[in-house]
Amino acid sequence: MEPARNGGDCRAATGIAKVCAGNTDIDIREVNEPQLDSEENKPARVPRNVLRLMLAIVIVLALVALYANVQRWRRSQLETVTFTPAQTASPSSATP
């Protein structure tokens, strides 16, 4: 096993955990503090203009979907396809 790049030895005996990261400064006092109701903890409020824009986009998409379905229904009502076979020339009329 190679030694760690910071010079520490990463090998550990059974049952002993060894950290290879070197010195770490972790302040755990802030982890256990109760959360206070401050401006940072309140959920962000969405402006009314953004909500109106989102609502307008949803309404426009719904209208486009409705228009597409109406056009599909109308097309099946209006369009009819008629197949006519091509006229084949008889061999007697093709020779002069």
Cα(1)–Cα(12) distance, rounded to whole angstroms?
11
Structure tokens at 5: 């790049």
The pTM of the full predicted model, rounded to 2 decimals, is 0.40
Cα separation of the two ends of the chain: 98
* Residue 22 one-letter amino acid: G
Annotate 44-92 with DSSP letters as a single string. Answer: PPPPHHHHHHHHHHHHHHHHHHHHHHHHHHHHHHH------PPPPPPHH
Residue pLDDT tens, the chain, 96 long: 555 566 555 555 554 555 555 566 676 666 666 666 666 667 788 899 999 999 999 999 999 999 999 998 888 777 777 888 888 776 665 555
Find out whether 4 and 10 touch, Cβ atoms under 8 Å. Answer: yes
